[in-house]
């Protein structure tokens, strides 16, 4: 009786894609090792039985050498062997290396069914594997699959019950590699292929000179595309909908409302020259949806489109190699580039992704840098929306300040935070070109995630603030904080509302600045401060969960001190 | 035949792993990634002076930090 199915395999062989195919649970998968840092669980209906399927983080062996591997291995030993099946997912293009884990699983007596995944990629590369023969040698079922297209999955499900423990002697490492050599000779046939354009690009992107040129080009193009797509959606789709469709309807519906009443204040907000102004009215039905759908969502779509594309192609690990030197000065190694890039989408998945970093010290440094110096897409979108009209100078200025801050802070933390930072050891995946439906699904999944998390918080946040403002409850905080906000930062004392709201969501916080009539210099200071100061509550909670309370406090203290120093410095440099 | 570390090997040159001077953890990590005594590897590139090293071993491309590369001793022609 099978009660549990585990998916295990080397990093980046497509475990998560198989998992999604088996359970229908959508999980993020990318073309780099370590995408899955959390256990995903789902269910597969096998006959009439609902069986739990667990997607384990990638591991090279059953003798764990990192914490992610340890988690995978300890879970495997938790469950009785006669009540589970292990689906061992193998990269067909690299059978030799993958077989080491397969043999270890068989030696340990697990009931194993082996999935030769990415079979399309293998035949493309001239790798031919005799599945039947391999099955004979292993004495365990072997199935050729291509998870991305779904080929072979049905057969895999049909044959799951055939997985039974086999008796295999335990081998030493040397013996095992020799055995693998023998197996490979019998089952694998390599066709000679000439260097393809893809391989030439793969090669060029990890060489110093060509690699840096490519990296610069890709980063520049990514920025341009994000801006272009974002602005296109705003100008052609969302703004017309809001201004031509939504605004007249809203104005008609509320025309007979009393303008200074409680509900009007709450839902519509203030009228600007007698009309609703989506950027300044600050109502639950006006500014709140406009911030999320009209200013932030277009850039979220654009950003995740590019990020997903780069992830699935397999470019990010190459960027990690090129930036390894720079990251070392910050006390991290090249792979930390990936959590940081994810942090540009939203700090929460960025900080979760720091789990791929091995030491506590690295995770603390990376998480602190992300929460202080990496603005999320919603915040960036609002900064563009606010400062963009004054020209690229101020927008670039915010990024420049944040970038310098990350460098300085990283160098200081590298010198002062105790612990160790291990070296880089990473497998570089080949470039793959993801099918459009796969990419579209991932994009849809991320945007849905964004909307579910953001919209309720934004609506409630604006509602809450409007109630506080209506009953003048903010006045106390405002006058209390005036010496800092006005005295040190040179902002009108009402700006404290925005900084407080920043704790809930950054995009709404920037929205709060819009009606204040700030000068462009003040906007610049406030926007930069919002980026640096307290992370939003979601980030706060995730740092707490991931790094513990003490580190949360440390990280927060660093943040407060830096916010005050930076705010004051910018004020005196720019305004005086 | 001479012995040099992977960090010293010139890009686009080949070598055979003769030793990995490091903790057991590093050795077993590399072992499970397919790099062990006797493996033939090709160095593809070296980023900067003290940067990471990219190698081809079997069908995999691996990136090793400079410190790791210095611990992999190769036999070369």
Q: How many percent of chain A have pLDDT more than 90?
A: 62
| Tokens matching residue B71 | 């611990």
CATH class given for the domain over A4-190: alpha beta
Among partner residues A100, A174, A203, which is closest to B32 by beta-carbon distance? A100
State residue A576's pLDDT score.
Answer: 65
Which residues from B are below 8 Å from A428, CB to CB? 54, 60-63
CA distance B77 to chain A (A): 24
Among partner residues B34, B60, B67, which is closest to A423 by beta-carbon distance? B67
- What's the rounded mean pLDDT across residues A308-335? 94
CA distance A458 to A454: 6
- What's the rounded mean pLDDT across residues A466-484? 86
Among partner residues B31, B33, B46, which is closest to A173 by beta-carbon distance? B31
| Whether pLDDT at B14 is above 90 | yes
Which residues have CB under 8 Å from A180's CB, separation 6+? Answer: A96, A99, A100, A103
Which residues from A are below 8 Å from B47, CB to CB? 206, 208, 211, 321-322, 324-325
CA distance A562 to A556: 10
| CA nearest to A364, candidates A552, A493, A233 | A552
DSSP β-bridge partners for residue A53: A5, A42
Q: Which of A12, A424, A429, A432 to mutate to test the interface with B (most CBs of B within 10 A)?
A: A424
CA distance B2 to chain A (A): 24
Torsion of CA A431, A437, A443, A449, to 10 degrees: -130
B12 in contact with chain A, both atoms CB, cutoff 8 A: no
**Residues A394-451: pLDDT tens digits?**
999 999 999 999 999 999 999 999 988 888 899 999 999 888 988 999 999 999 999 9
CA distance A532 to A145: 47
B35 in contact with chain A, both atoms CB, cutoff 8 A: no
CA distance A206 to chain B (A): 7
Which residues from A are below 8 Å from B51, CB to CB? 208, 321, 324-325
CB contact under 8 A, A322 and B44: no
- What's the rounded mean pLDDT across residues A247-260? 82
Which residues from A are below 8 Å from B72, CB to CB? none
- What's the rounded mean pLDDT across residues A464-481? 86
Q: Which of B17, B59, B68 to mutate to test the interface with A (most CBs of A within 10 A)?
A: B59
- What's the rounded mean pLDDT across residues B45-49? 90
Please tell me whether residue A452 adopts helix, strand or coil conformation. helix
Find the closest chain B residue to A12 by CA distance.
Answer: B60
| CB of A216 closer than 8 Å to CB of A149 | no
Prediction ipTM score: 0.94
| Whether pLDDT at A38 is above 80 | no
What is the average pLDDT score of chain A?
A: 91
CB contact under 8 A, A424 and B63: yes
**Residues A148-163: pLDDT tens digits?**
888 999 999 999 999 9
State residue A223's pLDDT score.
Answer: 93
State residue A31's pLDDT score.
Answer: 77
CB contact under 8 A, A173 and B25: no
| CB of B32 closer than 8 Å to CB of A65 | yes
State residue A96's pLDDT score.
Answer: 92
Among partner residues B47, B59, B60, which is closest to A321 by beta-carbon distance? B47
- What's the rounded mean pLDDT across residues A220-248? 95
Which residues have CB under 8 Å from B72's CB, separation 6+? Answer: B5, B6, B17, B20, B30, B35, B64
Q: List chain A domain ranges.
A: 4-190, 208-255+277-575
| Strand order, beta sheet including B72-76 | A425-428, B60-64, B53-57, B40-46, B14-20, B72-76, B2-5
| Whether pLDDT at A476 is above 90 | no
Among partner residues B32, B34, B68, which is closest to A423 by beta-carbon distance? B68
DSSP β-bridge partners for residue B57: B41, B60
- What's the rounded mean pLDDT across residues A450-459? 91
Distances (CA, A) of A283 to A268, A399, A472, A515: 4, 30, 16, 12
State residue A26's pLDDT score.
Answer: 81
- What's the rounded mean pLDDT across residues A56-77? 84
B65 in contact with chain A, both atoms CB, cutoff 8 A: yes
Q: What is the DSSP letter of A269?
A: B
**Residues A176-196: pLDDT tens digits?**
999 999 999 999 999 888 778
Question: Does domain B2-76 match CATH 1.10.3720.10?
Answer: no
| CB of A187 closer than 8 Å to CB of A180 | no
State residue A497's pLDDT score.
Answer: 85
| Whether pLDDT at A57 is above 80 | yes
Which residues from B are below 8 Å from A424, CB to CB? 52, 63-65, 68
CB contact under 8 A, B68 and A425: yes
- What's the rounded mean pLDDT across residues A275-302? 92
- What's the rounded mean pLDDT across residues A60-74? 83
Interface of A with B in 264-323 (CB under 8 A): 317, 320-322
CB contact under 8 A, A65 and B28: yes
State residue A477's pLDDT score.
Answer: 83
Torsion of CA A487, A489, A494, A499, to 10 degrees: -140
Q: What is the 3-state secondary structure (H, E, C) of A189-235?
A: EECCCCCCHHHHHHHHCCCHHHHHHHHHHHHHHHHHHHHHHHHHHHH
CA distance B75 to chain A (A): 19
State residue A25's pLDDT score.
Answer: 85
B44 in contact with chain A, both atoms CB, cutoff 8 A: yes
| Whether pLDDT at B8 is above 70 | yes
Which of the residue ranges A174-183, A386-395, A505-514 has the most confident prediction, judged by mean pLDDT? A174-183
Find the closest chain A residue to B51 by CA distance.
Answer: A325
CB atoms within 10 A of CB A419: 12
Q: What is the 3-state secondary structure (H, E, C) of A469-532?
A: HHCCCHHHHHHHHHHHHHHHCCCCCCHHHHHHHCCCCHHHHHHHHHHHCCCHHHHHHHHHHHHH
| Whether pLDDT at A131 is above 80 | yes
Please tell me whether residue A126 adopts helix, strand or coil conformation. coil
| Tokens matching residue A112 | 């194993």
| Whether pLDDT at A259 is above 70 | no
| Whether pLDDT at A273 is above 90 | no
Confidence band for A554, pLDDT divided at 50, 70 and 90:
very high
| Whether pLDDT at B70 is above 90 | yes
């Amino acid at each position: 009786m099978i009660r549990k199915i585990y998916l295990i395999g080397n990093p980046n062989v497509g475990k998560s894609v198989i998992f999604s195919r088996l359970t229908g649970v959508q999980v993020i998968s990318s073309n780099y090792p370590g995408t899955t840092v959390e256990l995903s669980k789902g269910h597969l209906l096998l006959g009439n039985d609902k069986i739990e399927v667990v997607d384990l983080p990638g591991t090279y062996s059953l003798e764990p050498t990192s914490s992610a591997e340890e988690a995978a291995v300890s879970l495997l030993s938790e469950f009785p062997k006669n009540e589970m099946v292990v689906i061992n997912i193998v990269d067909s293009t690299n059978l030799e290396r993958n077989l080491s884990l397969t043999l270890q699983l068989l030696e340990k007596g697990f009931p194993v069914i082996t999935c030769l995944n990415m079979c399309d990629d293998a035949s493309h590369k001239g790798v031919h594997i005799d599945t039947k023969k391999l099955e004979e040698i292993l004495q365990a079922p072997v199935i050729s699959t291509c998870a991305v297209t779904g080929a072979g999955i049905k057969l895999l499900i049909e044959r799951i019950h055939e997985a039974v423990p086999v008796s295999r002697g335990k081998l030493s490492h040397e013996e095992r590699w020799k055995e693998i050599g023998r197996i490979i000779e019998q089952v694998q046939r390599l066709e000679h292929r000439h260097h393809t354009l893809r391989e030439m690009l793969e090669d060029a992107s990890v060489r110093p000179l060509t690699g840096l040129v490519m990296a610069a080009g890709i980063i520049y193009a990514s920025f341009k595309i994000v801006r272009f797509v974002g602005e296109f959606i705003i100008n052609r789709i969302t703004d017309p909908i809001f201004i031509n469709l939504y605004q007249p309807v809203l104005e008609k519906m509320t025309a007979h409302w009393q303008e200074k009443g409680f509900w009007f204040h709450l839902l519509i907000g203030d009228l600007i020259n007698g009309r609703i102004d989506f950027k300044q009215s600050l109502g639950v039905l006006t500014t709140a949806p406009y911030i999320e759908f009209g200013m932030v969502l277009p850039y979220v779509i654009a950003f995740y489109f590019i990020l997903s594309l780069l992830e699935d192609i397999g470019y990010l690990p190459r960027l990690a190699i090129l930036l390894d030197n720079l990251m070392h000065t910050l006390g991290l190694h090249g792979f930390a580039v990936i959590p940081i890039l994810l942090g540009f989408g939203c700090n929460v998945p960025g900080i979760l992704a720091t789990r791929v970093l091995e030491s506590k010290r690295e995770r603390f440094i990376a998480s602190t840098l992300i929460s202080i110096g990496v603005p999320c897409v919603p915040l960036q979108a609002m900064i563009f929306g606010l400062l963009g009209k004054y020209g690229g100078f101020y927008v670039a200025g915010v990024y420049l300040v944040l970038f310098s801050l990350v460098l300085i802070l990283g160098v200081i933390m590298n010198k002062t935070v105790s612990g160790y930072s291990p070296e880089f050891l990473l497998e570089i995946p080949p470039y793959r070109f993801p099918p459009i439906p796969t990419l579209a699904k991932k994009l849809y999944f991320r945007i849905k995630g964004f909307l579910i998390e953001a919209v309720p918080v934004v609506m409630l946040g604006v509602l809450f603030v409007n109630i506080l403002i209506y009953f003048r409850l903010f006045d106390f905080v405002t006058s209390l904080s005036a010496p800092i906000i006005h005295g040190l930062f040179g902002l009108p004392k009402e700006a404290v509302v925005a900084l407080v709201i920043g704790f809930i969501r950054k995009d709404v916080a920037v929205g709060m600045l819009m009606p204040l009539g700030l000068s462009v210099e003040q906007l610049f200071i406030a926007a930069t401060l919002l980026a640096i100061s307290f992370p939003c509550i979601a980030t706060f909670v995730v740092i707490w969960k991931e790094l513990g309370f003490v580190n949360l406090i440390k990280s927060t203290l660093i943040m407060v001190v830096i916010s005050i120093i930076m705010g004051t410095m910018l004020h005196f440099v720019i305004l005086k | 035949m001479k012995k040099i570390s992977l960090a010293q090997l010139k890009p686009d040159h080949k070598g055979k792993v003769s030793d990995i001077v490091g903790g057991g953890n590093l050795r077993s990590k590399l072992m499970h990634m397919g790099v062990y005594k006797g493996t033939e590897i090709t160095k593809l590139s070296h980023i900067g002076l003290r940067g990471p090293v990219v190698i081809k071993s079997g069908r995999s491309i691996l990136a090793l930090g400079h410190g790791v590369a210095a611990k992999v001793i190769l036999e070369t022609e």
